[in-house]
Amino acid sequence: MPELDDQIAVVTGAGSGIGQGIALVLAQRGADIVVSDIDIAAAEAVADEVRSFGKNALAVQSDVTDRESTDALASTVITDLGRIDILVNNAGVGGAPGWWQRSSPSPEDWEATYDVNVIGIVNTTSSFQDHLSERRSGRIINIASGAGRRGTGGFAHYSASKAAAINVSQGFALKLAEFNINVNCICPGLLWTPLWEKIAERDRIKSGETVLTGRQVFDQRLETSTPLGREQTPEDVGKLAAFLASDRSKNITGQSINLNGGSYMN
């Protein structure tokens, strides 16, 4: 289905999990992909996968918390590829390094989630917005979380950052609408990625669980929270991102779409 033929997409945090899934689905739908990640080896590996679909891929190291780094990303991409059409702000963390070994979030965890999950969106969008505005065309897709829809007891720092990601997306949607740029959020539910492996590890440490594996902790959560009874996948998120990047969504902006198997509805 070549609905994104001739489009160029930048995906942040594309070296793993959901970002990898988004990069691969957008490539399958015809887009060339800039695979950006703080981990360049991971980005290179995903770029190779993109090329296996016959699409052009460029791996670029970028730290979304650092505006100089996202400016350098924009400059490299525009110099090498000439333009971009789609920006997916996907990079995200659950806290500062080692957060999954702490039973409650430290001040550094609050800062890290805000820096990556919120300022990361602001930095990368700001670095590309003049380019997109001049072209009077663009699609920006931000990966928030179901956690941003409601408070969570032990993961409040992450929930708060994702609520802010939803809000900041609405702000950019209003600001960039006059330039024909649509900005939307996806709120995924439960996906077994390296991030969730850490969440499961943290839950096991907190509860003193010694019998269940991390994956079993995840499966329990899925069973008790998800009416459709299915885990969501990076490919699912990629398909929704492809829709939001396509002409089929031209009148959708400022929205946050749940992709959660019905675990909550709003």
Ligand X SMILES: NC(=O)c1ccc[n+]([C@@H]2O[C@H](COP(=O)([O-])OP(=O)(O)OC[C@H]3O[C@@H](n4cnc5c(N)ncnc54)[C@H](O)[C@@H]3O)[C@@H](O)[C@H]2O)c1
- Choose between 116 and 179: whose C-beta lies nearer to ligand X: 116
User: CA 238, 70, 95: angle at the middle one, nearest 5?
Assistant: 70
User: CA 165, 166, 169: angle at the middle one, nearest 5?
Assistant: 85
116 binds ligand X (CB under 6 A): yes
249 binds ligand X (CB under 6 A): no
203 binds ligand X (CB under 6 A): no
65 binds ligand X (CB under 6 A): yes
193 binds ligand X (CB under 6 A): yes
CA distance 189 to 203: 17
With 0-12 / 13-18 / 19 or more C-beta atoms within 10 angstroms meaning exposed / middle / buried, residue 56 is middle
Tokens (6 digits) for 206: 């907190």
Among residues 158, 192, 196, 218, which one is catalytic?
Answer: 158
Among 96, 140, 141, 191, binds ligand X (CB under 6 A): 191
For ligand X, which stretch binds (CB under 6 A), given 10-18, 50-58, 166-174, 238-246?
10-18
Among 7, 125, 127, 145, binds ligand X (CB under 6 A): 145
> In 3-state terms, what secondary structure has residue 36?
strand
90 binds ligand X (CB under 6 A): yes
140 binds ligand X (CB under 6 A): no
Among 8, 23, 33, 37, binds ligand X (CB under 6 A): 37
> In 3-state terms, what secondary structure has residue 92?
coil
User: CA 62, 68, 70: angle at the middle one, nearest 5?
Assistant: 40
For ligand X, which stretch binds (CB under 6 A), given 26-34, 77-85, 174-182, 194-202?
194-202
For the stretch 66-76, what's the b/e string if a residue is b when 16 or more beta carbons lie within 10 angstroms of its beta carbon? beebbbbbbeb
For ligand X, which stretch binds (CB under 6 A), given 74-82, 87-95, 131-139, 174-182?
87-95
188 binds ligand X (CB under 6 A): yes
Active site residue 264: no
Tokens (6 digits) for 250: 């031209």
Contact between 186 and 236 under an 8 Å Cβ cutoff? The reply is: no
Among 7, 17, 121, 181, binds ligand X (CB under 6 A): 17
> In 3-state terms, what secondary structure has residue 164?
helix
12 binds ligand X (CB under 6 A): yes
For ligand X, which stretch binds (CB under 6 A), given 58-66, 79-87, 169-177, 200-208?
58-66
Specify the DSSP element, H or E, that contains 186: strand 181-188
39 binds ligand X (CB under 6 A): yes
CA distance 177 to 172: 8
Among 10, 15, 99, 139, binds ligand X (CB under 6 A): 15
CB atoms within 10 A of CB 150: 10
Tokens (6 digits) for 262: 């019905």
Q: What are the residue numbers of the active site?
A: 158
Chain positions contacting ligand X, by CB under 6 A: 12-13, 15-19, 37-39, 42, 62-65, 90-93, 116, 143, 145, 188, 190-191, 193-196
